[in-house]
Amino acid sequence: MSDRIKYHLDEQVKKAIAFELRRCGIDVTTTVEVGLRTQSDEVQLAFAQNEGRVIFTHDQDFLIIASQNSNHCGIAYCKQGTRSIGQIIESLVLMYEVYTAEEMIGRVEFL
Report the predicted TM-score, pTM, of the whole model to 2 decimal places: 0.91
- Nearest Cα to Cα of residue 57 among 107, 3, 106, 8: 8
Alpha-carbon distance 79 to 98, whole Å?
22
Residue by residue, DSSP assigns 67-91 as HH---SS-EEE--TTSS-HHHHHHH
What does the pLDDT read at residue 2?
63
- 2-39 residue pLDDT tens: 699 999 999 889 999 999 999 999 999 999 999 888 88
Alpha-carbon distance 79 to 61, whole Å?
11
Residues in the chain: 111
Alpha-carbon distance 64 to 5, whole Å?
22
Domain ranges of the chain: 7-110
